[in-house]
């Protein structure tokens, strides 16, 4: 099992024994671009619920948690997801990077 510290640990700059597994999603969704189609992978229960409530039923499905959307509409959809406080894997990676920079700046 690969371990990393939590975001709270990084932001406080403290070494603690609070851990989480890398395969536990801390993001809500991922995007996979396939040309004119983009797959929204709803990795959290909140994202899956959001997709069922907001996306048309007739969308192409990819596995249980994948929703195929025309790429030209993806920005509108992800803006709505952001407004509803859902975070993509890229959002989380950028936040982690910023927290690490802040922690290093304080040392």
Torsion angle of C-alpha atoms 84, 85, 91, 95, degrees rounded to 10: 160
The predicted structure's pLDDT at residue 1: 31
Q: How far apart are CA 67 and CA 76, in angstroms?
A: 15
Say whether 16 sits in a helix, a strand or coil: coil
The structure's pTM equals 0.69
pLDDT higher than threshold 80 for residue 106: no
- For residue 22 the two structure tokens come to 């890398």
Confidence of residue 98 (pLDDT cuts 50, 70, 90): confident
Cβ neighbors of 48 (< 8 A, separation 6 or more) are 42, 65
Which architecture, in CATH terms, is 25-90? 2-Layer Sandwich (3.30)
Across residues 13-39, what is the average pLDDT? 67
- So what's the pLDDT on residue 101? 84
Q: What is the mean pLDDT of residues 53-81?
A: 94
Task: Name which of 23, 31, 36 is nearest 77 in CA terms.
Answer: 31
How many CB atoms are located within 10 Å of the residue 32 CB? 12
């Amino acid at each position: 099992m690969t371990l990393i510290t939590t975001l709270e640990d990084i932001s406080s700059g403290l070494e603690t024994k609070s851990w989480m597994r890398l395969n536990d999603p801390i993001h809500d969704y991922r995007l996979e671009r396939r040309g004119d189609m983009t797959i929204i992978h709803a990795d959290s229960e909140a994202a899956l619920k959001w997709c069922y409530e907001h996306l048309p039923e007739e969308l192409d499905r990819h596995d249980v948690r994948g929703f195929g959307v025309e790429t030209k509409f993806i920005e509108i959809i992800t803006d709505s997801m952001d407004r509803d406080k859902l975070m993509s894997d890229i959002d989380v990676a950028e936040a982690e990077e910023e927290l690490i920079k802040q922690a290093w700046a304080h040392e």
